[in-house]
Amino acid sequence: MSRASFLRGALGAGAALASSGFPAWSGIATAQPTDRRGLRGRMLLPGDTGYASAKQLFDSRFDTNTPAAVVQVTSVEDVRAAVALAAESGLRIAPRGGGHSYVGASAADETLVIDLRELRDVRYDGGRVTVGAGASLSDVQNGLHRFGQTLPLGTCATVGITGLTLGGGIGIESRRHGLSCDRLDSASIVLANGELAETSATSDPDLFWALRGGGGQLGVVTSLTFLTCPAIPKDIVRLTFSAERLARVITGWADWLSTADRSAWANIDASTDGHGTMECAVLLVCPADTGAEHTRTLTAATGTDPLTVQRQTLDHLEAFGALAGDSDAPRTCSVAGSDVVANISTDLADRIVETLTTLADAPGRVLIDPLDGAVRDLPSEATVFPWRDHAAVLQWIIDDPVDTGHWIADAHRNLGSHSAGAYVNYLEPSDSPRRYFADNLDRLRRIRTAADPDNRLHPTLAL
């Protein structure tokens, strides 16, 4: 019997098993063909119309991946049936939310992809919002806008709320409200044995801890409940500087952060075209009508005048749209990685400039995001995200279909001891998990083993 024929038939048996528990995953197809009762969502197999688009991720590098099946779930019961089906068919599970993983985790070969994008409801109630696991950041911001509320999120409209939160969640509200995972109040998750677990600080607290920055691999999250925060109008200021002053801009930016009010956030975007031309920009986001003053203090800290300054005042949703771009933006092809640094020093700034200068293969950039303010209000062991007492995350990005990941590896080596680790939402293939979780790794491993003892979840990172 072919794997496709088996999958088509196993759904009924899988649904039954989901409601009663099922034996340890063996990696061997054992069920007999039955009907499809129990699964309301659509299942697509290789060769089916719609399969190619269903498995497609945001990054076109993974278009050649061939999951064994994609199940487009419509309910929690569907998720449980799909989890059971994966066990019966000897397939690992690959949950898919936004589909932005840099390693293509949610379209891995020979997995059963559980596509959660139909689970995207946003329900607000008195300071809390419950969000379906398939919701995008755009879904969340639009859903909260009419209540005057928001969450600390990233700035890409199509990124999934679940993946962002499971990895930590850095964004323009981080200095004021912390990480996305810091606002998480509870979560529902279907474990690999088919059980639905309701987690919070008081209900299954270990599993809840692991969901806050652990990068996934614990089960299939079906919904997340967050504590919201007020949405306010914002000034968005973009400053450009001479590339020759990049090192001084980096150290001056760090000096500015040490005294800037938490309501203001800024990052650095330094890029090269691959042919010797570099650019340097600072993005500043702060409460409406404070942009001019923050621009003044920021430029004073850098000791250099900007080449250009562009400022606009927008309401919260307009600001998100301006930063996030079009929800229908074209797909990309990028190789990325990261370094977390404890301090911003002159030597570090010089090494960043040197790394960019040596980029000759393709256009690339480094984004430098702050890790101060409210991020530091929790101790490093409070969530899995371990970098609470560090200065910044450096995200290296190469925008080219050619495999230029070697340049990112060179960047890591060039930083040397300045690099303390990396951010799991910028995951790199075959990396050490210790690099992402530091001293929190051992506890995370114990919890993951308890949640998925038979390794039914696709291992995005070898814990």
- Give the separation between CA 354 and CA 411, rounded to whole angstroms: 9
**Are the CB atoms for 217 and 459 separated by under 8 Å?**
yes
Asked whether residue 342 is domain-assigned, the answer is yes
409 occurs within a structural domain: yes
Q: Residue 16: what pLDDT?
A: 34
Q: From 203, 231, 259, give the residue that closes a domain.
A: 231
Residues 225 and 147 placed together within one structural domain of the fold: yes
Average pLDDT for 172-197: 98
Q: How many domains does the chain have?
A: 3
272 and 178 fall within a common domain: no
pLDDT digits (tens, 9 = 90+) for 388-398: 999 999 999 98
Which residue, of 213, 231, 249, is where some domain finishes? 231
360 pLDDT more than 50: yes
More confident residue, 62 or 132: 132
- Biggest alpha carbon–alpha carbon distance for the chain: 72
pLDDT(433) > 50: yes
- The CATH number that applies at residue 226 is 3.30.465.10
Considering the domain architecture, whether residues 182 and 213 belong to the same structural domain is answered as yes
Mean pLDDT value across residues 221-227: 98
Please tell me which of 58-62, 153-157, 187-191, 358-362 the model is most confident about, judged by mean pLDDT: 187-191
Query: What pLDDT was estimated at residue 7?
Result: 46
In a domain, 92, yes or no: yes
Identify whether residues 93 and 138 lie together within a single domain: no
Confidence of residue 97 (pLDDT cuts 50, 70, 90): very high
160 and 33 within one domain: no
Residue 35 token pair: 């009907």
* Measured distance between the N- and C-terminal CA atoms of the chain, rounded to whole angstroms: 34
Say which residue, 310 or 61, is predicted with more confidence: 310
End residue of a domain, out of 179, 198, 231: 231
Residue 106 has pLDDT above 70, yes or no: yes
More confident residue, 123 or 404: 123
Instruction: Give the lowest-confidence range in 20-24, 106-110, 412-416.
Output: 20-24
Q: Kindly state whether residue 323 falls inside one of the protein's structural domains.
A: no
Instruction: Give the CA distances from residue 311 to residues 144, 172, 290, 294, 305, in Å, rounded to whole numbers and listed in that order.
Output: 25, 16, 11, 11, 16
Q: What is the mean pLDDT of residues 274-283?
A: 89
Q: Give the least confident one: 2-11, 59-68, 308-317.
A: 2-11
CA distances from 318 to 58, 234, 321 (A): 24, 9, 5
Q: Does residue 23 lie within any of the structural domains?
A: yes
Per-residue HEC secondary structure of the chain comes to CCHHHHHHHHHHHHHHHHHHCCCCCCCCCCCCCCCCCCCCCEEECCCCCCHHHHCCCCEHHHCCCCCCEEEECCCHHHHHHHHHHHHHHCCEEEEECCCCCCCCHHHCCCEEEEECCCCCCEEEECCEEEEECCCEHHHHHHHHHCCCEECCCCCCCCCEHHHHHHHCCCCCCHHHHCCHHHHEEEEEEECCCCCEEEEECCCCHHHHHHHCCCCCCCCEEEEEEEECEECCCEEEEEEEECHHHHHHHHHHHHHHHCCCCCCCEEEEEEEECCCCCEEEEEEEEEECCCHHHHHHHHHHHHCCCCCEEEEEEECHHHHHHHHHCCCCCCCECEEEEEEEECCCCHHHHHHHHHHHHCCCCCCEEEEEEECCHHHHHCCCCCCCCCCCCCCEEEEEEEECCCCCHHHHHHHHHHHHHHEEECCHHHCCCCCCCHHHHHHHHHHHHHHHHHHCCCCCECCCCCC
Do 403 and 260 fall into the same domain?
yes
Looking at the fold, whether 145 and 107 belong to one and the same domain comes out as: no
Q: What is the pLDDT of residue 363?
A: 80
377 and 268 inside one domain? yes
Instruction: Answer whether residue 326 is part of any domain.
Output: no
pLDDT beyond 50 at 452: yes
Does one domain contain both 212 and 201? Answer: yes
Q: Considering the entire predicted model, what is its pTM? A: 0.91
Calculate the average pLDDT of the chain. 89
* pLDDT-derived band at 400, boundaries 50, 70, 90: low
CATH number for the domain including 256?
3.40.462.20
Decide the pairing of beta strands 149-150 and 92-96: unpaired
Percent of the chain with pLDDT over 70: 89
Mean pLDDT of 9-19: 37
3-state secondary structure string, 110-133?
A: CEEEEECCCCCCEEEECCEEEEEC
Q: Which residue has the higher pLDDT, 298 or 328?
A: 298
Distance from chain centroid for Cα 137: 11
| Residue 461 resides in a domain | no
Query: Do 106 and 214 have their domain in common?
Result: no
Same domain membership, residue 426 and residue 304: yes
In a domain, 320, yes or no: no
Q: Does 198 score more than 70 pLDDT?
A: yes
Residue 32, pLDDT above cutoff 70: no
- The predicted pLDDT at position 312 comes to 97
pLDDT tops 60 at residue 105 = yes
250 and 397 belong to one structural domain: yes
Most confident range, picked from 5-19, 30-44, 219-233: 219-233
pLDDT of residue 326: 63
Instruction: Give me the pLDDT at residue 429, please.
Output: 87
61-87 burial, b for 16+ CB within 10 Å, e for fewer?
A: bbeebebbbbbbbeebbbbbbbbbbbb
* Residue span of the structural domain in which 78 resides: 3-115
In the predicted model, what is the mean pLDDT of residues 80-85? 94
Contact residues for 272 (Cβ-Cβ < 8 A; gap 6+): 278, 279, 356, 357, 359, 363, 364, 365
Work out the average pLDDT over 265-275: 92
